[in-house]
Amino acid sequence: MTEVLSTHGLVAGYGDFQALYDVDVEVHEGEAVALIGANGAGKSTFLRAVMGLLPVAPDMVHFDGAPVGGTPTDRMVQKGVAIVPEGRRLFTGMSVSDNLRVAIDQSSRFERKGCWTLSRLYQLFPILEEKARTPVESLSGGQQQMVSIGRALLCQPRLLLCDEISLGLAPRVVREIYAALPEVRAQGTSVVLVEQDVGLAKSASDRLYCMLEGRVTLSGRSEEITREQIGEAYFGGGHAVG
């Protein structure tokens, strides 16, 4: 299976604070990989390091087999990596359609070609077509998350990084959003899911990494990892995850 992303002894931090310690992660083509752990475990920092938002050595991050650590974020998007950030970070004062067209324009500027168009995105999330002219700040949290995911997909990514896309949403909305992921993967896009809901992470992923205090404490196939193993890796002791 083709390796899309890999990190090698990845270390990263904020100023004098080190947040990641020797993190090794692999993501293969068309695969969904979940990254779980408590707040402060280093999950979001990992995504920021991959996206070039934190300074890291080139050999610490590989994309398509080439070293890309420390590559500026716009270049990472150009290479085929997109992120759905925590907090969505939509362009307020602009409509749903305008937010999505920003990504279309960017993809065109980078000459990235792919299967995602507005019409295809509207098939994935029909509510976005209904709300196309609505200012994004008037949408529900779940609808805003769909816009954020749609904006990332319209960048035509080979790798989609999702940071806590279920956070603060009603269970029904979370199910609706996660139900779209198989279609995303069917187009050849690999997905990294940062998620605190362990059950959701297990069911939506092929493989799983658990992080604690900036280190990977457990990895394996999601269906084979037990709740007891996750509990011990998640908390650093003999805990089970309910």
In a domain, residue 82? The reply is: yes
- One DSSP character per residue, the chain reads --EEEEEEEEEEEETTEEEEEEEEEEEETT-EEEEE--TTSSHHHHHHHHTTSS---GGGEEETTEE-TT--HHHHHHHTEEEE-TT----TTSBHHHHHHHHHHHHHHTT---S--HHHHHHHSHHHHHTTTSBGGGS-HHHHHHHHHHHHHTT--SEEEEESTTTT--HHHHHHHHTTHHHHHHTT-EEEEE-S-HHHHHHH-SEEEEEETTEEEEEEETTT--HHHHHHHHHSSS----
- The two tokens of residue 138 are 């008037």
Instruction: Flag whether the pTM goes above 0.85.
Output: yes
CB 229 within 8 Å of CB 218: yes
**Rg of the Cα atoms in the chain:** 17
What is the rounded CA–CA span in Å between residue 77 and residue 67? 15
68-98 confidence digits (pLDDT tens) = 999 999 999 999 999 998 877 887 899 999 9
In a domain, residue 242? The reply is: no
Domain count, the chain: 1
118-138 confidence digits (pLDDT tens) = 999 999 999 999 999 999 999
In a domain, residue 15? The reply is: yes
158-215 confidence digits (pLDDT tens) = 999 999 988 888 898 899 999 999 999 988 899 999 998 899 999 999 999 999 999 9
What is the domain-level CATH number for residue 7? 3.40.50.300
In a domain, residue 190? The reply is: yes
26-79 confidence digits (pLDDT tens) = 999 999 999 999 989 999 999 999 999 999 999 999 999 999 999 999 999 999
In a domain, residue 57? The reply is: yes
Whole domain around residue 223: which residue ranges? 3-88+158-235
| pLDDT score recorded for residue 241 | 52
Q: Hey, what's the torsion of the CAs at 226, 232, 233, 235, to 10 degrees?
A: 130
What's the first-to-final CA gap in the chain, in angstroms? 33
Average pLDDT over residues 95-108: 88
In a domain, residue 205? The reply is: yes
The sign one gets for the Cα dihedral 40, 46, 145, 124 is: negative
CB 129 within 8 Å of CB 89: no
